[in-house]
Amino acid sequence: MAELVAAVVQMRSTMEPSENLVALEQLVGEAAGRGAAYVQTPEMTGAVCRDRDHLLANLKPEQDDPIVKAAATLARRHAIYLHIGSTAIRAPGGMAANRAFLFGPDGTRVESYDKIHMFDVDLDNGESWRESRTYVPGERAALARFSVDGADVRLGFAVCYDMRFPELFRAEALAGANILTAPAAFTRQTGEAHWHVLLRARAIENNTFMIAAAQGGRHADGRETYGHSIIIDPWGKVAAEVDGDEPGVAVARLDLSAVDAARGKIPNLKNRRPFATDFTARAS
């Protein structure tokens, strides 16, 4: 049986990376101590900071970023694959990149991914977000392949708002992904409405595992995130979840053969057919 022991780490990151490094080390150590070979942290692991000027003034380039350095060390210390859901990295033009990282058990970087879709929305009760003011959107999907105890892992990347764009996950599934990911800092308002249903849908429609670590609770910058870090199997069943919004860890043992089993039952990836998209009105 090709199994992967996976963990999601739920955090309540503050505006200061030095404070979040302490929580990161403790929670990753807990996940590794519970047997996880792959550990995922949330979006904005390094800092949840709505103050654009404060965030940009304290950014580091990738090679100097404290979260990146610590993640490489932690992956090597615990001999795990450590997936930093994302952290803000200095980008050209005085902007930031919302960048995810995967580090291998030897501490080397396996893959990185920049969030593609910017959360530019106006919600109820006056809640409004404009990520495009601060972040440069990514331009490429990413897929990492590695082996753990005989399990052939093919991991597709996404971050938070990306989960509302199913074409990204479909492209990764067609490229061979058997695990999809969506680490997030989902707002409480949207999380209560859509978190579980969106993640279960992405798993079901692609017959893959879905792993999504999350930020949870009220943060120092005033925002409130939903939590409920989760691991979902290819049939849409919740395999593990951090209940609520408190920091914590959830672990699940993933039988990767379940992906082929689900695709055998409902081979929708194979049953796709091309179709025309000429929507010009036709006279009846």
How many whole angstroms separate alpha carbon 49 and alpha carbon 253? 34
Q: Of 121, 125, 134, 127, which is closest to residue 56 (Cα–Cα)?
A: 134
* Mean pLDDT score, 20-49: 98
- Element containing residue 257 per DSSP (H, E): helix 257-265
How many whole angstroms separate alpha carbon 138 and alpha carbon 214? 20
Residue 94 pLDDT level (bands cut at 50, 70, 90): very high
pLDDT at 284: 61
59 close to 44: Cβ distance less than 8 angstroms? no
Residue 125 reports pLDDT greater than 90: no
For this structure, is 43 an active site residue?
Answer: yes
Q: What is the DSSP string of 26-84?
A: HHHHHHHHTT-SEEE--TTSS-----HHHHHHT---GGG-HHHHHHHHHHHHHTSEEEE
Residue 126 pLDDT level (bands cut at 50, 70, 90): confident
Residue 59 pLDDT level (bands cut at 50, 70, 90): very high
For this structure, is 115 an active site residue?
Answer: yes
Catalytic residue among 43, 49, 172, 241: 43
Task: State the chain's mean pLDDT as an integer.
Answer: 96
Q: In this structure, is the dihedral angle defined by the CA atoms of residues 232, 234, 236 and 237, taken in order, positive or negative? A: negative
Q: In this structure, is the dihedral angle defined by the CA atoms of residues 144, 146, 148 and 149, taken in order, positive or negative? A: positive
Min mean pLDDT across 18-27, 102-111, 273-282 is at: 273-282
Catalytic residue among 25, 62, 115, 237: 115
For this structure, is 139 an active site residue?
Answer: no
How many whole angstroms separate alpha carbon 127 and alpha carbon 222? 12
* Cβ atoms within 10 Å of 125's Cβ, excluding its own: 6
Catalytic residue among 19, 60, 62, 160: 160
For strand 230-232 and strand 224-226, is the pairing parallel, antiparallel, or unpaired? Answer: unpaired
How many whole angstroms separate alpha carbon 199 and alpha carbon 213? 11
User: In this predicted model, what pLDDT tens digit does every residue of 249-269 receive, in sequence order?
Assistant: 999 999 999 999 999 999 999
Which residue ranges form the domains of the chain, and what is each CATH number? 3-265 (3.60.110.10)
Residue 2 reports pLDDT greater than 90: no
